[in-house]
Amino acid sequence: MEEEMHTDAKIRAETGTGSSSRGPGCSLRHFACEQNLLSRPDGSASFLQGDTSVLAGVYGPAEVKVSKEIFNKATLEVILRPKIGLPGVAEKSRERLIRNTCEAVVLGTLHPRTSITVVLQVVSDAGSLLACCLNAACMALVDAGVPMRALFCGVTCALDSDGTLVLDPTSKQEKEARAVLTFALDNVERKLLMSSTKGLFSDAELQQCLAAAQAASQHVFRFYRESLQRRYSKS
């Protein structure tokens, strides 16, 4: 598969100094985002993090089935389709995480008794998939013009066996890590919206990963801002 060949091409600057076990040289992979690429959905975005790529489409606010309608706010639905095979339980659990994050930021009360559907398609998975899904969902919601109280981003951290923190890990790094933590942060106060963790870690490490994720989210939000500025600027 392409992923193995790509990890050589994109070399990560991991310069761990001897003293601290947290490499001060953590880095995020190459990012790219394209908006409004699909004609049918109200908003769409394709988000790339290194080799991980997710395509998101947002439909809404649209009509909702009476059984699912909520009288005072919009019903948010997230559908995640894997690259291979039919969606299973893992996809369902990720859908729920993404939905909870979106519900925290989307101003659903402005569109009662409607539905907002986010459809995510995994195009390629080379690590940090959940973070990439969150980023794609946010850009697609912005493209669709859904009112939100804040933007959000996803950041993944991996802790390997000697405690070194790696941001935006590749799938090889995720496999070898002892713990993988994904955080969703909002851009107003960089508060935590959602966290999903797998593996063994201490509470000090958790706080360190969270702090690192907050630092990383600065860059992601800067990327959002610049990409939207480019799109909406008059020059």
Partner 1 sequence: MADKPMIIGTSGSHLEPITDAALWNLEKQELEGVWQIRVDLHLLNHDGNIIDAASIAAIVALCHFRRPDVSVQGDEVTLNMSGQIKQVIINIKEVIWYTPEERDPVPLSIHHMPICVSFAFFQQGTYLLVDPNEREERVMDGLLVIAMNKHREICTIQSSGGIMLLKDQVLRCSKIAGVKVAEITELIQKALENDRKVRKEGGKFGFAESIANQRITAFKMEKASIDTSDVEEKAEEIIAEAEPPSEVVSKPVLWTPGTAQIGEGVENSWGDLEDSEKEDDDEGGSDEAIILDSIKMDTGIEVSDIGSQDAPIILSDSEEEEMIILEPDKNPKKIRTQTTSVKQEKAPNKKPVKRRKKKRAAN
> What is the binding site for partner 1 (CB under 8 A)?
2, 4-6, 9-10, 12-13, 20, 22-41, 44, 46, 48, 50-51, 53, 55, 57, 59, 79, 81, 83-86, 117, 119, 121, 123-124, 165, 167, 203-205, 207-212, 215-216, 219, 223, 226-227, 230-231
- E strand or H helix at 140: helix 129-144
Residue with Cβ nearer partner 1 (84 or 200): 84
Exposure on the CB side of residue 65, measured as CA atoms within 13 A: 4
Q: Cβ(154)–Cβ(167) under 8 Å?
A: no
Nearest distance from C-beta of residue 1 to partner 1, angstroms: 8
Nearest to 227 by CA among 31, 29, 30: 31
Rounded to the nearest whole angstrom, what is the least distance from the CB of residue 147 to partner 1 in the complex? 21
Nearest partner of 155 among 131, 171, 173, judged by Cα: 131
Nearest in space to 167 (alpha carbons), one of 179, 178, 155:
155
User: What single-letter amino acid sits at 163?
Assistant: G
Shortest Å distance, C-beta 144 to partner 1:
13
> Least distance in Å: CB of 102 to partner 1?
16
